[in-house]
A and B are shown apart, each in its own frame.
Chain A
Amino acid sequence: MTRNSRRLVSVLAAATIATSMAACGGDDDSDGGGGGGGGGGTAEDNEATGPGMTEDTVTIGSHYPLTGRAAPGYSEIPTGVQAYFDYVNANGGVYDRQIEWVYRDDGYNPTNTSTVVRELVLEEEVFAIMGGLGTPTHNAVLDFLNTEEVPDLFVSSGSSLWDDPENLPYTFGWQTDYESEGKIIGQYIAEEFPDAKVGLFLQDDDFGEDGERGVRQYLDDDQIVEVQTYTSGNIDVGPQIAALQASGADFVLGFNTPPYTALTQLAARDLNYTPQWWYSNVGSAPDLVGSLLGAFSQGAVSGASALAGIYTTSYIPTVDQVDDPWIQLFQRIWDESGQEGVLTNTRVYGMSMAYTMVQALQAAGRNPTGDDLVAAVEEAGADWQGPAFTPFRYSSDRHAGISGMSVVQFNAEGVGEPKTPLLVTDTGDAEIEEYDGEPIAPPESGIPDEEAVG
């Protein structure tokens, strides 16, 4: 039987790959349009500089869970990226190069991540990896990418692992790190709910640990009455929620992925357990959670209002902010892209990151190597403005992304209402401060215009 189970494991892996091929059949349709448009001066000619950077194309690769337990919501991110890159390509690309976007399904399984990222680097010969999703998954390819000297930009995870320029010179974070988020959440609860008995519900890896470390900087140990963890993939969270209920916690803070937001809400309903809920940014996908939970309430709760009253945090605009100029831009780009489905927060996330990627490619100059791209992010990244509410922390000795966020509470219509101004902080014992800058509107063209560095 042990032989059989080993066989079984490889079959499961094969199955995931097979289904993913079915799932993302259309991911590499380049628009084919000529790149003659407004690419600026032509003092130099385009040259191929190495893998993934030809005269007229630049290939960017990534890994996402497109199938399996972690896929809901996340599988939409690359379609958002695709929409934005298509838009840039239709407007001439970057330095007259079309951006080719190739992504693979890893099913949120680190073993698969290793396989597909090796494929992307060695067979597809990508110029850079962008937005590889997940802490345990991306962790499995850090050494490989840094040994191969492939730029590993903007990992889709707020773990602090990505901010280690000395050992991982090619890897950069993008979103606000979980520890900073935990600090901002912890301070808010300490100030606004000093009497709450807080229970933590954590994914049992760096995601949960980083978040908890941040929260504990501001919440006293005796205010945190219970800590429960879950392993991604185990879908029965009933025992954990029952333990939180038994502990008397009346305020539950979750550092979990979106499907677990739905699962914990269901389990709590079955237990008649009604604490105040707070899900960190990752877990608060109202459209997804609403669609999953809606079926269980026989119409009593519809769509996004399933999360009414729940707190979360926010560092880029969300689709409920219909007046936000970034959301209006992304809505237009999404509609033009002609892909199936509506604009969701996960797609906005993908488009926002793609915007940063275009900034990086512009800053890297006309004929960059991978090292030039890395240098450009280090040199210019801290000054880039875009959809993110607060600046990046990039420099030659920091590879950390967005520096802050604000606290948000969903109202009955599922719209997030800000409860704090924009707050910026950092890992460790950095203070939490109010951000004094203003969010900026997108450029008229919808495409950034960064100067080449160096």
Chain B
Amino acid sequence: MEQFISLTLGGVVNGSVYAAFALALVLIWRSTRIVNFAQGSMAAATTFIAVAVIDAGGSYWLALVVALLSGLVMGALIERVVIRPVEGGPELNAVIVTLGLFVAIQGIVALVAGVDERAFVPPFSTVGYEVREGFTLLSLSRNSIWTVGAVLVTMLALIALFRFTRLGLAMRASAFGQEVARLLGVRVGRMLTLGWALAAAVGALAGMLIAGDVSFIGPTFMDTLIVFGFVAAVLGGLDSPIGAVVGGLLLGLALNYVRGYLDDSLLGMAALVILVVVLLVRPGGLFSTTAARRA
């Protein structure tokens, strides 16, 4: 029973980290209908900018703000400069461009920050709460509560943005039908840029949370999480912030049970098996809406 509680809580924490990453993917998908493979190295880049702030004597919170802002700027720049020329063409072109970005950004990070692993100290203590003598819940620490909380707040903010604001409506409209939206007076170009900027900022948050979770980071530290983030996003239907979070949590729980009750080495395979099964049963993902709404 103790093991089950440990694994479940651990799964929730890991899952919310996957969810943070999946949220960024969903944002870009919602606003531009592109799967952004560069998300991982973009988040690594903003995390290393934050590390530079911390190294220069700044606090974690200042570094977090800088990371989020640099995410906004980076996302907007990338959309304007690199993605805009291929937008509206075949979808594959945009995807290939994001793949190229993935490699290029990772290379730049390695050139600037070096390839050595370094410590990343999270803002709160990672020491687990001692439930009773001799039984410490590793996954229940102040830092894990911050991680889960930050992801939930981000999710709620995104839902509010898309559901209750004119801006969110305009962003959705731009993604679904550019021409119609333009006819209705929506500045489609700006909406697309904004979508990328927001997504990159959420990605930057994910990078900071993940860095705190894994303790040691190098230019490739997001690589192992990219796959799980993608699986979480697709599980959730790629289109829904709630779906991304639920997908992330389900994946986190499932993988932790696999790790605890089966074997550590089955993690990657388990993620793909879950993905295949879900896609066979519900091809649009667990939270897919009606086919008519899919662009």
Contact = CB atoms under 8 A, between A and B. Distances in A.
Contact of A19 (B110, B226, B260, B267): B110
A68 B95 CA distance: 25
A4 B39 CA distance: 14
Interface string A226-239: 00011101111011
Contact of A270 (B128, B219, B224, B263): B128
B234 A1 contact: yes
Contact of A239 (B6, B102, B118, B272): B6
B35 interface: yes
Contact of A235 (B35, B41, B95, B214): B214
Given A8-B230, A272-B130, A229 B110 contact: no
Interface residues of B, number: 57
Contacts of A68: 218, 220, 223
Interface in A264-305: 266-267, 269-273, 291-296
A234 B214 CA distance: 10
A67 interface: yes
B159 interface: no
Contacts of B218: 67-69, 71-72
A292 B265 contact: no
Nearest to A25: B111
Nearest to B100: A11
Contacts of B227: 5, 8
Contact of A259 (B37, B99, B117, B138): B117
B116 A267 contact: no
Q: Is the interface of A mostly helix, strand, loop or mixed?
A: helix
Contacts of B102: 11, 15
A292 B215 CA distance: 9
Nearest to B106: A15
A12 interface: yes
Given A15-B106, A204-B265, A239-B256, A5 B272 contact: yes
Contacts of B230: 1, 4-5, 8
Contacts of B121: 295-296
Interface in B113-151: 115-121, 126-128, 130, 134-136, 138-139, 141
B276 interface: yes
B103 A15 contact: yes
A262 B121 CA distance: 13
B194 to A, nearest CB: 25
Given A238-B139, A239-B259, A22 B2 contact: no
A40 B256 CA distance: 64
A7 interface: yes
Contacts of A385: none
B107 interface: yes
Interface in A42-91: 66-69, 71-72, 75
B103 A263 contact: no
B117 A292 contact: yes
Contacts of A322: none
Contacts of A312: none
Given A269-B127, A271-B128, A296 B119 contact: yes
A122 interface: no
A295 B141 contact: no
A69 B230 CA distance: 21
B178 interface: no
Contacts of A262: 215-216
Contacts of A204: 263-265
B116 A231 contact: no
B103 A23 contact: no
A23 B117 CA distance: 13
A445 interface: no
Nearest to A243: B3
Contacts of A245: 134, 136
B74 interface: no
B246 to A, nearest CB: 18
Given A12-B223, A204-B264, A19 B139 contact: no
B275 interface: yes
A242 interface: yes
A239 B234 CA distance: 27
Nearest to B136: A271
Contacts of B215: 235, 262-263, 266, 296
B179 to A, nearest CB: 28
Interface in A1-32: 1-2, 4-5, 7-8, 11-12, 14-16, 18-19, 22-23
B241 interface: no
B138 A229 contact: no
A231 B279 CA distance: 28
Given A18-B106, A22-B107, A23-B110, A71 B127 contact: no
Contact of A234 (B6, B103, B135, B264): B264
B7 interface: yes
A342 interface: no
A296 B120 CA distance: 8
Nearest to A9: B227
B240 interface: no
Given A15-B106, A19-B106, A235-B224, A7 B99 contact: yes
Contacts of A430: none
A296 B212 CA distance: 11
24 contacts: A1-B230, A11-B37, A12-B223, A15-B103, A15-B220, A19-B106, A19-B107, A68-B220, A69-B224, A71-B117, A204-B263, A204-B264, A229-B263, A231-B264, A234-B267, A239-B138, A239-B259, A245-B136, A246-B3, A259-B216, A271-B138, A272-B136, A273-B136, A292-B216
Interface of A: 1-2, 4-5, 7-8, 11-12, 14-16, 18-19, 22-23, 66-69, 71-72, 75, 107, 204, 229-231, 233-236, 238-243, 245-246, 259, 262-263, 266-267, 269-273, 291-296
Given A269-B127, A270-B136, 10 more contacts: A19-B115, A67-B115, A72-B216, A236-B10, A236-B214, A239-B10, A239-B138, A239-B259, A242-B6, A292-B216
